[in-house]
Amino acid sequence: MRSAAPRLAALAAVAGLLLTACSQSAADQGRGDPGTLLVGGEVEPQTLDLTVTSNASIPSMLLGNVYETLVDRDQKGTVTPGLASSWDIDRDRRRYVFHLRQGVRFGNGDPFTARDVVFSFDRVRAAASRHPFKQQFAAVSDVKARDDHTVEVDLKRPSNLWLLNLSGPVGVILNQRAVGSLADRPVGTGPFTFGRWDRGNQIVLARNDAYWGAKTQFKTVTFRFYNDPNALGNAMLAGELDLITNVPAPQSLPQFRDGGRFRITTGHTNGEVVLGFNDARPALRDRRVRQAITQAIDRAALLKTVWAGYGTLIGSMVPPTDPWYEDLSKRVPYDPAASRRLLDAAGYGGGLKLRFRVPNRPYATQAAQFVADQLGRIGVRVQMEQVEFPGRWLDEVFTKGDYDMTVIMHSEPLDIVQYGNPSYYWHYDNPKVQRELAAADAGTPAEEVAGMREVARTIADDAASCWLWLMPSIQVSARNVTGVPPNVVTGGYDLSSIRKS
Amino acid sequence: MVWAVLRRTLVMAVTVFAASVVVFAACSALPGDTATVLLGERADPASVAALRHEIGTDRPLAVQYADWATGMLGGDFGTSVVTRRPVWPQIADRLQVTASLVVTGMALAVLLAVPLGVLASRRRIGPLVSVFGQLGMAVPVFVAGILLSYVFAVRLRVLPAGGYAPLGDPYQWVRHMALPALSLGLVQGAVLVRYVRGEVLEVMEKEYIRTALATGRTWWGALWHHGLRNAVVPVLTVIGVQFVVLLSGAVIVEAVFTLPGVGQMLLRAVEGRDLLLVQGVVMILIALVLVINYLVDLLCLAVDPRLRRPA
C-alpha cells in the first residue's frame, strides 16, 4: 500500500503525457486544409425538413447551399435569377412565366424540370398542406408546366411579395423521389449535397461536383453545433473553427480582437427587435399612448447598453436590405417631455400599469429592463415577467394574446406585412395600412417601392410598435478566410463567396 | 436475503409506475404544445389543429397516457413528432455519451477520493487534503469545466475544446472525454474525500481495530485487513446518491464541452416541446437512478451480512 501511491502518480503522469503528446491534434485537422470549412454558430435543428417547421436554422444551412429557388436575392436585397434564368410578367401582373435553367441536376442525379417546380409549389398550396409558410402562397391560383423548361403561375391577384418570398424557404425546389426523407436526407440542386448528420454534434455538406454554376473550393463544409456561447468562443480560440456565422452576443467580441488571428465582419439581418403592443387593450389601442411609450425610450442609449452599440436603429419594420428602406429612426424621436404630454392628453397622466411579458432570451430580457426603467420615468408602471421561449411565449403571448407589451425579434424577411393582419398577436387594425399594403403588392416595381415606403412611414407615425433596433449580423473568421457574406437577406447562409487559403 | 431482494424489487416497480404518471402529467401541463412550437409564428390555426389531430394530442389525457404507458411496457417509447424517428434509438445514441461521461467521471472521483480520503485521516497531511475538499465543493462543475477548457484547449491547445468521438476510436474517445470527465471527477472527488475521511476516522476508533493494533498490526495493516470493508458501506451509499448528482452535473458539462449527451437532448426537446422524447428521456433517467440505487442496495447486502436480517 505504501508504494502504491507513487506508482499511481507515475502512471497518471504517463497517461497525461500520452494524451497530450501530439499537440497538432485531430481537433486541428481541417483548420489548415483549404478544402474544408469548419463553421460554428448555427443552432442545431431537430429535423431538416423545412416544410414542416419555421425553425430558421434549417434554411440558414440548407437554403442556397443544398436547396435552390427559382429566384434569389443578393446581398443588397435585389431579386436575381436562380433556377429560373428569366421570367416574364404579363400586363395585369397576374401571370408569371418562368424560363428554367437547362442541364440542372439534383444531388441524386435526377434532372431538374418544370415538373419539379409544379410538384414543389403544389405541395405548399395543397388543401391538406401544413406548410408553415402556406400563407405566402395564398395569392396563387394555378401552377402548370408549359414544357420541360417553362413554368406558368397564375395569381388570383397581383402580388410582388409572392415573388420576393420565392427566394425564401417557401420557394425551395424539392426532388419528388426525396420528399420521403426530407427530415434527415435533404436533396436539392445546390452547390452542395447533404453529407451526414452526427446528431448533437455536426452536419456535413459535401461539394456537388455536378453543380450547374460556379463550383465551390470546399470538398466539405461542416456546421458544428454549440449550445453554450462560451464553448463556441473557446472552439474558435482553440483553432477548431474557421468561422462563426452568428456571434451570440457582442460582449464576447473582445476576445477575438488580439493578435490579428481573427477578422470581425458586421452586417444587417432581417431581425427587427420589436417592442410589441397589444392593441386589444383599450389603453394601447390609443395611438397617443403608443407614441408616448415610443418617445419615452432612448433607443440609441438602449442599443449601447444592451447590445454594445452593434446593430442599427430603424424606426420602422424595414431592414436596410429591403428595396424600400429609408432611415426612419428619427421620425418619432426620444422626447420624454412630449411623452408625458401625450400620456396626459390620453388620460393616463395619473399612471398606467402594463403587463410586460418577455421571452427568456438575453437580448429580450436586457432590453426589457432598460425599457421598464425608462417607462417608469414617465409614470408608466411596468410589471415585467420572463416567459419561457418558444413554448410558453408562443402559447400565451402569441396565440392567446395574454399580454400588454412584449419584446421579440422578428427575423422573417418582409414581415412588415403583418401590420396589415388584424388577427396577428398585436391586434393592430389600421385600414389605411391594409389599403397601402394591398396597393403596393399589386403595383409595378416603382409603385411597389413607393407604396411600401408609405406603409413604413404610416406605421412609424402611428407607433404601431416601437422598433428598438435591427439585430446585426456579427461574424468572426480566421485570418485565412475571406468573402463571408455580411448580410442575412433570404434566410439562407450563402457559402458561395467564401474562400480559404 | 431473498426477501430483502424481493422487497426492494417491488418498491422499484411501484416507484417507476408513480414516476410515469408524474412525468406524463408534468409534460401535459406545460404551456405551449408540440404543434404550436413546431409550426411557429406563421402557421394558420387549421394547420395547428390538423397536426394536433395527427399526433393525437387532441385526445383525452387518460387515453394518451394509457397509450404511452402500454407502449413502454412493450419497450416502445413512441415516435417523435419533430424528428419523425422512434424515441428509443435516439435516447440510446445519446446515452452512450452521457454514460461514458458519468462512469469515467465517477471512476476518476473514486480513484481520487479513496486514497486522498485515507491520507486525510492521517494527521500530518489532513489539512492539505481538506483544502482540496473545500475547494472542490465550492467550485461549481461548469466553472471547473470552463477553467480546464481554457487552460488545456485554448491556451496549451493539447486537448480538444469540445465534441465527442465514439468509443470505436479509443484514442480520440479518451482525448475528448478527458476534460469533461476531469471536470466532473474533480468536483465529485472533492465531495467524496470528506466521506471517506470521516468513515476511516470512525472505523479506526472501533474496538476491533484497537485489538488488531494491539496484536501488532501497523495502522495501515489494520485499515487494509479490518477497517476498509466496514468503511466502504456508507461510502458506497454516498456514491449511489452522488451518481444522481453526477447525472445532473453531466447536463452542464455536456453544454460546456458540447458533448451530444442525453442532457443536451433533453433541454432541446423541452424547448421544442417534443413531449414523447422528453417523457422517454426522463423515464430512462429515473429508471437509471432507481437501478443504480437498487444495485447499491444489493452491493451493500453483499458486503455487509448484517443488513440481510429483516429490519
pLDDT value of position A172: 97
* Distance separating alpha carbons of residues A76 and A488, to the nearest angstrom: 10
Of A165, A269, A70, A47, the closest CA to residue B39 belongs to A47
Q: Are A466 and A482 in contact (CB under 8 A)?
A: no
Q: Is the per-residue pLDDT at A386 higher than 90?
A: yes
Whether A53 and chain B come into contact, CB under 8 Å, resolves to: yes
What's the Cα-to-Cα distance from A83 to each of A125, A212, A263, A485, B220, rounded to whole Å?
20, 10, 33, 21, 80
Report which secondary-structure segment, H or E, holds A131. none
* Distance separating alpha carbons of residues B269 and B263, to the nearest angstrom: 10
| Arithmetic mean of pLDDT, B100-129 | 85
More confident residue, A292 or A200: A292
Whether A135 and chain B come into contact, CB under 8 Å, resolves to: yes
pLDDT value of position B47: 84
Output Rg (C-alpha) for chain A, integer angstroms.
25
Q: How far apart are the first and last CA of chain A?
A: 57
More confident residue, A151 or B33: A151
C-alpha cell at B136: 472542490
pTM of the predicted protein model = 0.86
Identify the band that residue A24 occupies on the pLDDT scale cut at 50, 70 and 90. Answer: very low
pLDDT value of position B310: 59
* Distance separating alpha carbons of residues B188 and B183, to the nearest angstrom: 9
Q: Per mean pLDDT, which of A40-44, A390-394, A424-428 is the most reliable?
A: A424-428
C-alpha cell at A88: 416574364
Of A222, A223, A196, A218, the closest CA to residue A207 belongs to A218
A355 in helix, strand or coil?
strand
Establish if B129 belongs to a structural domain: yes
Identify the band that residue A27 occupies on the pLDDT scale cut at 50, 70 and 90. Answer: very low
- Cα of A390 to nearest chain B Cα, Å: 7
* Distance separating alpha carbons of residues A168 and A73, to the nearest angstrom: 9
A122 in helix, strand or coil?
helix
Q: What is this model's ipTM? A: 0.80
| Arithmetic mean of pLDDT, A316-342 | 95
Q: What are residue A340's phi and psi, to 5 degrees?
A: -65, -40
Q: Is the per-residue pLDDT at A192 higher than 70?
A: yes
Q: Is the per-residue pLDDT at A17 higher than 80?
A: no
Sort out which chain B residues have CB atoms less than 8 A from A199's CB and list them: 90, 93-94, 260
Contact residues for A133 (Cβ-Cβ < 8 A; gap 6+)? A54, A124, A165, A168, A169, A170, B42
Query: Which of A3, A185, A228, A256 to probe the B interface (max B CBs under 10 A)?
Result: A228
pLDDT value of position B306: 76
Q: Is the per-residue pLDDT at A10 higher than 70?
A: no
By CB neighbour count within 10 A (0-12 exposed, 13-18 middle, 19+ buried), where does A259 fall? Answer: exposed
| Arithmetic mean of pLDDT, A63-73 | 96
Establish if B29 belongs to a structural domain: no
* Distance separating alpha carbons of residues A485 and A382, to the nearest angstrom: 40
Establish if B75 belongs to a structural domain: no
* Residue in the block written with cell 392628453: A345
Establish if B76 belongs to a structural domain: no
Q: Is the per-residue pLDDT at A13 higher than 90?
A: no
pLDDT value of position B307: 73
| Arithmetic mean of pLDDT, A28-55 | 86
Give the model confidence (pLDDT) of A216-265 as tens digits.
999 999 999 998 888 899 999 999 999 999 999 899 999 998 768 999 99
Establish if B65 belongs to a structural domain: no
Establish if B43 belongs to a structural domain: no
Query: Which of A3, A196, A394 to probe the B interface (max B CBs under 10 A)?
Result: A394
Give the model confidence (pLDDT) of A283-298 as tens digits.
999 999 999 999 999 9
Average pLDDT over chain B reads 87
Going by the DSSP 8-state scheme, the letter that residue B86 receives in this structure is B
Q: Which domain CATH number covers B214?
A: 1.10.3720.10
Q: Which of A54, A226, A394 is facing B32, going by the closest CB pair?
A: A394
Residue ranges making up the domain that contains B145: 87-308
Establish if B273 belongs to a structural domain: yes
pLDDT value of position B56: 87
- CA-CA-CA-CA dihedral for A75, A77, A79, A85, to nearest 10: 10
Q: Could you tell me what percent of chain B has a pLDDT over 90? A: 27
Sort out which chain B residues have CB atoms less than 8 A from A126's CB and list them: none
Of A65, A45, A164, A37, the closest CA to residue A481 belongs to A37
Identify the band that residue B309 occupies on the pLDDT scale cut at 50, 70 and 90. Answer: low
* Distance separating alpha carbons of residues B51 and B58, to the nearest angstrom: 9
More confident residue, A344 or B305: A344
Q: Is the per-residue pLDDT at B202 higher than 90?
A: no
Q: Is the per-residue pLDDT at A429 higher than 80?
A: yes
pLDDT value of position A30: 62
Give the model confidence (pLDDT) of B234-243 as tens digits.
888 888 888 8
Contact A201 B175 (CB under 8 A): no
Q: Is the per-residue pLDDT at B11 higher than 90?
A: no
* Distance separating alpha carbons of residues A190 and A206, to the nearest angstrom: 11
pLDDT value of position A26: 42
Domains, chain A, in order of start with CATH, read: 29-47+183-268+473-500 (3.40.190.10), 68-176 (3.90.76.10), 269-472 (3.10.105.10)
| Arithmetic mean of pLDDT, A24-30 | 47
pLDDT value of position A15: 54
Identify the band that residue B219 occupies on the pLDDT scale cut at 50, 70 and 90. Answer: confident
Number of domains in chain B: 1
Give the model confidence (pLDDT) of A449-466 as tens digits.
999 999 999 999 999 999
More confident residue, A104 or B143: A104
pLDDT value of position A21: 46
| Arithmetic mean of pLDDT, A382-404 | 93
Identify residue B51 by its one-letter amino acid code. L
pLDDT value of position A16: 52
Q: Are A210 and A193 in contact (CB under 8 A)?
A: no
By CB neighbour count within 10 A (0-12 exposed, 13-18 middle, 19+ buried), where does A6 fall? Answer: exposed
Of A33, A53, A55, the closest CA to residue A44 belongs to A55
Give the model confidence (pLDDT) of A109-168 as tens digits.
999 999 999 999 999 999 888 898 998 999 999 999 999 999 999 999 999 999 999 999
pLDDT value of position A23: 41
Establish if B57 belongs to a structural domain: no
Q: Which of B36, B43, B160 is facing A25, going by the closest CB pair?
A: B160
For A:241-280, CB contacts with B below 8 A are: none
Sort out which chain B residues have CB atoms less than 8 A from A200's CB and list them: 93-94, 97, 164, 259-261, 264-265
